[in-house]
Structure 1
Amino acid sequence: MCGGVKSHGCDVCAKEFVQKGNLKRHMAIHAGVKKHKCDVCGKKFLRKGALNYHIAIHRGIKSHECEVCGKAFVRKGDLETHIAIHVGVKSHECDVCDKKFLRKGGLKNHIAIHGGIKSRECYVCGKEFVRKGDLETHFAIHVGVKSHKCDVCGKYFRKSGNLERHLTDHAGVKSHECDVCGKKFGTNGQVMEHMAIHAGVKSYKCDVCGKYFRRRGDLNRHLAIHAGVKSHKCDVCGKKFLRKGDLKNHIALHGGIKSHECEVCGKEFVRKDDLETHFAIHVGVKSHKCDVCGKKFLRKGDLKNHIAIHGGIKSHECYVCGKEFVRKGDLETHFAIHVGVKSHKCDVCGKKFQRKGDLKNHIAIHAGAKSYKCDVCAKEFVQKPNLVRHITIHVSKKSHK
């Protein structure tokens, strides 16, 4: 039983489990064995049960209907739970506090709370829970199942709490204010999570690798990496992405469609944001002033990033590796390394690079500019790496004298 001694250890990551069966299922994650495939979207699962649950959500087939009110459910178990509400018979009584329950399972979970027994163990990360429902909610993070739908916009969420917080955005109610910057939020939990950025507190821990994050959303995106869930697929090349935004940027690079044109000089851009940034150069209006040093900026976002430099606040965190940056632009440049996006193109030969600096060095090769000079023999080089390799020759000669 879980809650006891974890005597079954994983040889790969040293994670321990109470039950041998859970260790076996956990090992399948390291091996990458997902033999249960969904015929609808091609997604694979470690367990047949997880696949069946996934397919039911795909199809949206609610074949289990309540004879009393007509409400339909995907799973038979959900229907049985619902019918108990109509019947109202609570025949299962707790011997400790005399509380009654409609189902035997409900009583069993309740008794576990009295004893504090965590008999439900997640086979992915080994975390234990008292109630089965809590385990299922937790497991949804690993498998990427979002079963809670917003009736307003159709967006899906993994947990009911996240859906409730999302609904406050539609209602426009933002009564919780940050004492530091004045930003308002819909719930107290959101403002507390935001405050952690100012305080630099990382309270959200990944149960798989132990990495900490400031925001719950960053942790959830990070967990998707462990689970290997890439649900956003490119129709052109089939490459999959963790986030919809990453897919959108990728598709734009694929097609090379520059549909946003500057009215002043005719220069074209793939993304609207890039056009707006470029257009500010022509206008030249710097209306955003820094109160610390008086420097002015074209955009509010640039001023915000600049102020962060004064304060040294690294509020932009990479959800893949946890590295932090002062400016959002630096984070985006760094993130391109993880996703493999090469958005900096050479106009001479068409070669693409992930970083602007790499493109600059490459262009120097075309121009033939030798800006890197050896202090020993005055020999010049186009690229810095070539100069570094050359210097080793001088060092080698000295060591043999």
Structure 2
Amino acid sequence: MVTAYYIMKMTRNRKSTDIHEYYSNLRDDTYSKTLYHKDRIMCRICMKDGSVPIYGSGSCDVIEALRIFGNIVVREEDNFPKHLCKICYNFIKEANLFRKIAAQTDKFLKSPIKEEAVDVSLDCHEYPEAIANQDPVRNWPVTVTSGNQSKNCKMKVISKVQCYVCNKVVNKSYYKEHLTMHDPNHHKYVCDICGKSFRLRCAYHNHSLRHGNGFPYKCKFCPYKGKYAELLKTHMRTHTGDYRYMCTECPARFLFKSNLNSHILNKHKEKEHKCEACKRAFHTKLALQRHFEVDHLGIKTHVCNICGNTFGYRNAMMKHQRRVHKREKMMFSRMPSYLQVENKN
């Protein structure tokens, strides 16, 4: 009904006045220029007879529209005409409506598509049988009977949204931060020590802790110390046996999802990326590209800092240093960071 109303209204306006013809004729019209007088009530735009005051109730939209569409700034204290004719006023109203409709449409199109997902790994990982026959949205508080005991198992419902730029589905709480990835002008935080830049202030703060020697988060059960609360939280899973990321192909379980993904890729997926030169297959495009550059193009980027020999793979260079230069096998990188600092001191 609203759309039909505006179509009828615009149709009546076109029948009464052809806007294009009206403004086109003003280019060569000298009538308004010759009769210009500061005491005459005339239109601020076309200088014809004016009847609608620019200033007054509801004037903000008119003044803003004149600035946007007419590229002029009007002030009540100046000596220029302070009215609009009905044609110019109606055109401004339609232009304002167009701008508002365009803004609403743009906001609607850019609004994320909401989805609902359940993170059953938080409190229900010990009772997978309790989840199988439950509705994860409506029945998420679940009672589980184990032997003679009943325990409550909570299923946390997490809102998911879809990015309108890349269509990636992310947590709703992270959505605004995710959009900064698509904004080239977004402010970046740069580390004063190493020069690494970050989009998010929290990521920059966490990175800055890497350059310090403090480990304020200590484990209650072992000597472990962490720089961040999240690291300690993850470490605590080693004591509770909370290896929440489970492989669906074998009994393997992992603390981190990245480890699970790496396990699935290397153990349960076929090597899909094949070299056209020798028909060797690899799990990833990066591994295929590295193989082609080293084995077929002869590119060697790893240089021994002792003798200057070059190698295609880092492992080959490290093996060379241990065999030729009697360098000890480095296990240092596998140490927890707090032990690395203590050993240095």
TM-score w.r.t. length of structure 1: 0.35
Q: Which has the larger radius of gyration?
A: 2
- Indicate the structure whose relative CO is greater, using CA pairs within 8 Å and at least 6 residues apart: 2
